């Protein structure tokens, strides 16, 4: 049986790639043929040899199945702006069927796939479709990454309610301490435990260097 999970977040820049890499690593250690997929991205990094998206490199590094960067991240934009706006300006349409085609190729090689979204739950792919429309079409199980900071309670509750309202399975949520821990962080998480119906899969401590994660020190339950 092939397991497919879509990673969404309560905001942009709240650690979706970090969480995705941890889940991939944990699943690989559990014996799965894992693969990461980031169908749409913006904000490329310039390097002497080429342009590449750091997210794709990180996902590939922590996957059991070795894929090319353009297989992990087939639709990309250099500028750091909402993909649907860049798509319109550059006349480079983002089509749901292209996202599905990329996923089908990965499915032929793996049995446990993390699909990382861009931004939050309703990030537009175009002026007609959002990421949520594609997730619903593919019948993916959603994992919410909650960046623990002021405002996250409201964003997390709204995100789960939106997912449930569309009759999509929410497989759990992960609390990611994106800032150095302060006295209120445990209260944010405790409050969310009272409101979020999906299970808490784990709490990620503040990571100074996300490029050198000590995976054995992070306790996360794999979604089912």
- For the annotated catalytic residues, the residue numbers are 38
Of 221, 214, 156, 148, give the one whose Cα is nearest residue 182: 148
Give me 136's structure tokens. 């619903």
62 assigned binding-site residue? no
Question: The dihedral of CA 184, 190, 196, 198: what is its sign?
Answer: positive
123 is in an annotated binding site: no
- Tell whether 93 is in a known binding site: no
Q: Which helix (H) or strand (E) holds 191?
A: helix 185-195
205: number of Cβ within 10 Å: 14
Angle at 34 between CA 140 and CA 61, to 5 degrees: 120
Whether residue 116 is annotated as binding a ligand: the answer is yes
Answer yes or no: is 219 a known binding residue.
no
> Is there a binding annotation on residue 160?
no
CA distance 202 to 185: 14
Q: Is 207 annotated as a binding residue?
A: yes
176 is in an annotated binding site: yes
Does the annotation list 15 as a binding residue?
Answer: yes
37 three-class SS? strand
Please give the C-alpha separations between residue 72 and each of 52, 106, 122, 182, 194, in angstroms, as whole numbers: 11, 8, 21, 36, 36
Q: Is 100 annotated as a binding residue?
A: no
The DSSP bridge partners found for residue 8 are: 144
The reply, when asked if residue 55 is annotated as ligand binding, is yes
| Residue 42: DSSP 8-state | E
Q: Is 221 within any annotated ligand binding site?
A: no
Residues in Cβ contact with 208 at an 8 Å cutoff, skipping those fewer than 6 apart: none
As annotated, the binding site for substrate includes 42
As annotated, the binding site for ATP includes 13-18, 55, 116-119, 176-177, 205-207
As annotated, the binding site for Mg(2+) includes 17, 55, 116
As annotated, the binding site includes 13-18, 42, 55, 116-119, 176-177, 205-207
């Amino acid at each position: 049986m092939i397991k497919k999970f879509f990673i969404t977040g309560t905001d942009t820049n709240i650690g979706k790639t970090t969480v995705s890499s941890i889940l991939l690593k944990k699943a690989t250690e559990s014996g799965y043929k894992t693969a990461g997929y980031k169908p749409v991205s913006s904000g490329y990094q310039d390097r002497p040899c080429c342009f590449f998206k750091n997210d794709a490199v990180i996902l590939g590094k922590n996957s059991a199945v070795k894929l090319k960067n353009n297989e992990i991240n087939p639709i990309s934009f250099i500028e750091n702006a909402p993909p649907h706006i860049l798509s319109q300006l550059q006349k480079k349409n983002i089509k749901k069927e292209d996202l599905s085609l990329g996923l089908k190729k990965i499915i032929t090689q793996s049995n446990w796939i993390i699909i990382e979204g861009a931004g939050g739950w309703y990030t537009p792919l175009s002026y007609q479709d959002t990421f949520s429309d594609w997730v619903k079409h593919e019948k993916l199980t959603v994992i919410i990454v909650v960046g623990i900071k002021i405002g996250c309670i409201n964003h997390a509750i709204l995100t789960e309610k939106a997912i449930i309202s569309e009759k999509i399975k929410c497989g759990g949520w992960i609390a990611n301490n994106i800032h150095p821990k302060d006295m209120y962080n445990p209260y944010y998480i405790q409050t969310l435990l009272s409101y979020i119906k999906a299970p808490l899969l784990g709490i990620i401590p503040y990571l100074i260097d996300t490029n050198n994660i000590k995976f054995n020190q992070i306790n996360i339950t794999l979604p089912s």
